[in-house]
Amino acid sequence: MACNHTIHKHKHHLGWDNSIEPVLTISPGETIVVETIDASGGQLNSNSTLQDVTSLNFEKVNPVTGPIQVNGAQPGDVVAITFLDFHPSGWGWTANIPGFGLLAEDFPEPALHLWTYETNLTKPAAFSTIGQVPLKPFVGTIGLALADPGRHSVVPPRQVGGNMDIRDNCKGTTLYLPCEVPGALLSLGDTHAAQGDGEVCGTAIESPMKVEIKVNLIKNAQISYPRLETTEAVTKHIDGLGYRITTGIGADLMQAARDAVRGMIDWICATTQISPVEAYLLCSVSGDLRISEIVDVPNWVISFYLPKSVLN
């Protein structure tokens, strides 16, 4: 069934600001095709080089398409967005951007991996000659306008959503966002072809695509933070061959997370021919950080799961 509306990628903005005029007004229950730009804002493309990473203009990153005004939405309501389908572009990029990512101090130099993949998603995306990453398109950044006036950066996630990078904001999922301003003012972008939980290097398979959504409104629901509801198992596409798992243990969750990822990078490099920075990028797009234990004072356990299917 065709969607009620289409928004093209040139109708985008940078930063959350409740004074931005909506590009579309809809009624609850309507559907929209939203065209997105990649997280670089079009500065990177399928022919980009490492020099393009070093010259990125960060004032242009993370554009979001919108905003969309939802008729009847008022503060205290919840906007429910169901992801109906994704139409990927077939190319993407993953980069190590100096100063950004969980292990920024370990990897101060830029790196870039360009991806091509089949848009029907029937095959994993190849990573050099030793790896393959199963694809699961999703929206990395989706949120509503804040009540606070002025422009707010898209980079950090917020109580109204934003740059959450939750890979389960995928086909079939319904995302619930708390509304702070009349009309809600919904925007989305930063679409990914695949990502591991944690997005440890700071980028996923960043890939422009078209997203079909349905928008509903729940009156006076009064939630404080985003919620999600999925319709099926969330990891079945990568579980078949099992996992490699490393851990980090200590009183600082962030340090434990770093230690767990460092352990996986070491393990990959010891058993394959790829470089540490390549392993770091691979971890970001396919491995999952998990809190395994947070009750046994004074030390907590963070685990990092890498699907064996990634290393063929």
At 21-41, the pLDDT tens digits run: 999 999 999 999 999 999 999
Please tell me the predicted confidence (pLDDT) of residue 233.
Answer: 84
* pLDDT above 90 (res 131): no
Instruction: Tell me the mean pLDDT in the region 229-250.
Output: 89
According to CATH, where is 3.10.28.20 located in the chain?
Answer: 243-310
* pLDDT above 90 (res 312): no
Task: Band the pLDDT of 129: cuts 50, 70, 90.
Answer: confident
What is the dihedral sign for C-alpha 157, 163, 168, 169?
positive
* pLDDT above 70 (res 1): no
Instruction: Tell me the mean pLDDT in the region 233-245.
Output: 84
* pLDDT above 80 (res 237): no
Please tell me the predicted confidence (pLDDT) of residue 8.
Answer: 97
DSSP code of residue 310: G
Q: How far is CA 170 from the centre of its chain?
A: 10
pTM exceeding the 0.85 threshold for the entire prediction: yes
Cα separation, 61 vs 81, whole angstroms: 24
Q: What is the pLDDT of residues 293-307, one digit of tens each?
A: 999 999 999 999 999
- Superfamily name with CATH number, domain 243-310: Acetamidase/Formamidase-like domains (3.10.28.20)
* CB neighbour class for 143 (10 Å; exposed up to 12, middle 13-18, buried from 19): buried
Instruction: Tell me the mean pLDDT in the region 29-58.
Output: 97
Cα separation, 89 vs 256, whole angstroms: 36
Please tell me the predicted confidence (pLDDT) of residue 234.
Answer: 84
Q: What is the pLDDT of residues 167-190, one digit of tens each?
A: 999 999 999 999 999 999 999 999
Q: What are the φ and ψ backbone dihedral angles of 60, each rounded to 5 degrees?
A: -105, 0
Instruction: Tell me the mean pLDDT in the region 159-166.
Output: 97
Contact between residue 35 and residue 87 where contact means Cβ atoms under 8 Å apart: no
Please tell me the predicted confidence (pLDDT) of residue 267.
Answer: 97
Instruction: Tell me the mean pLDDT in the region 235-245.
Output: 84
Q: What are the φ and ψ backbone dihedral angles of 154, each rounded to 5 degrees?
A: -80, -20
Place of tokens 């699907």: 307
- Computed over every residue of the chain, the mean pLDDT equals 96
* pLDDT above 70 (res 95): yes
* 225, two tokens: 């933070």
According to CATH, where is 2.60.120.580 located in the chain?
Answer: 5-229
Please tell me the predicted confidence (pLDDT) of residue 60.
Answer: 95
Question: Taking the domain 5-229, which CATH number applies?
Answer: 2.60.120.580
The set of residues, in sequence order, having a beta carbon less than 8 Å from that of 158 and lying 6+ positions away, is 16, 143, 146, 152
